[in-house]
Structures are given as structure tokens and as C-alpha cells.
Chains A and B, each alone.
Chain A
């Protein structure tokens, strides 16, 4: 079965960077784009960007351009999201999420990683 397992919670100081990992299993990692979506406490879902595990190509929301980096290591079926110059309003649960093949929807989500900036 498809699983996306994310790294654990992080606490960071303002101005620091955070790197969250997402290990995929149960499918061929390079077939599906991987997205990152965040959710601030009590707020809605916010799309950050995607990475193609096959090519390494990326696309980011304009809001995060210049602050976010998405990478992958195909040898261990793991995607990474790094957010720099953290601010207090970056406090959120960060999800990795697999794109459904042939559609612009997300069919599997990681369990989420809480990043607290304080």
C-alpha cells in the first residue's frame, strides 16, 4: 500500500531554515509528482509547490519563490522540502502529498510535520 512517512516535528528560531523529509513506499517513486502543502493552526490548506521525482524539476507558488527548495533522492525514494528565512507565520503543519496519475488531484498524503517557529 502507498505510504508517505514524514520526518518529525521541528522547532526553529526566526531566520533559520527547516528541512522536512518524506519517504515514499508502495509505488514507483519516480512516476508521481510530489507536492508540498501546509496548514497553519486553525487555517486552510496552502499549496507550496511540487517536484518531479523523475527529472528533479520543480514549480513553486509565487508566495514561496526564493525561500523554498524541493529536492529528492531517488535511491531512497525520499523527497525533501527546505524553507529558509523562517518567520513566526511559517508555523504550520507541512504535508507531502502524491499527485494522482493523470489528474491534477492529490491522492495520498503524508501524516504531516509540525514546524514551530518561535
Chain B
């Protein structure tokens, strides 16, 4: 079955750039979606289809996907970006899958 691997945690200072990775075998051939989840809240879609942003999501959030790694990039990080981030794909053999999640800490 398809497995998505995320680092458990990423730390970044305010104003810097955070990069959260999502690894999977040939993940570049799939559409990757990213969700932000703050404590006690439902997830929020921040990037879909590798690079697209839903309306209302700041341009600071961007995505890329190539080879075996997809990346969510958050530019000019703010304190309010501190949250858990999950990648997600659909795979014909494994159906819908989420990565294990990455806790973003803003120092």
C-alpha cells in the first residue's frame, strides 16, 4: 500500500520560510493536497492539486510536487501559522490517505 511520510515537527522563526515535506514512492505522479489543523478545530484545506490555493488562503502558502517528495512552503511565517499540517493523496490501490502530520512551531 502507498505510504506518506512527514517529519513529526518543523520549527521556524517568524518571518522566515517553513518547508514541510511529504514523501511517497513516485508521489510526483499523484495530486497532493495539504491541510492545516489548529488545536480543537477541524482541518482547513490550504493547497490542493499540488499547487492550487482555495479562495481565502494567503499567497504565502504554496506547494510543489516532484519525484518522491511533495512540499508545502509557508513564506513569511506568522505566529498564527502554528498548527499541524497534513498531506493527503488518493491512490488507486490505497484509496484516500493522509500523512502522519507535521507540527509547525513558530519560535
Bound together: yes
Interface residues in chain A, defined as those with a beta carbon under 8 Å from any beta carbon in chain B: 35, 37, 44-47, 50, 59, 61, 95, 100, 103-107, 109-112
Q: Are B42 and A100 in contact (CB under 8 A)?
A: no
Q: A44-B100, A45-B98 are in contact. Are A107 and B42 (CB under 8 A)?
A: no
Check if A110 sits within 8 Å of B42, measured CB to CB.
Answer: yes
Interface residues, chain B, with chain A CB atoms under 8 Å away: 31, 33, 35, 37, 42-45, 48-49, 54, 86, 88-90, 95-101
Task: Verify A105–B101 contact, CB threshold 8 A.
Answer: no
Return the 3 tightest CB-CB contacts between A and B, nearest first.
Answer: A104-B90, A109-B42, A105-B33
State A61–B96 Cα separation when bound (angstroms). Answer: 8
**In the complex, given contacts A37-B98, A100-B45, A106-B45, what are 9 additional A-B residue pairs having Cβ atoms less than 8 angstroms apart?**
A45-B86, A45-B88, A45-B98, A47-B95, A47-B96, A103-B33, A103-B48, A105-B31, A105-B49
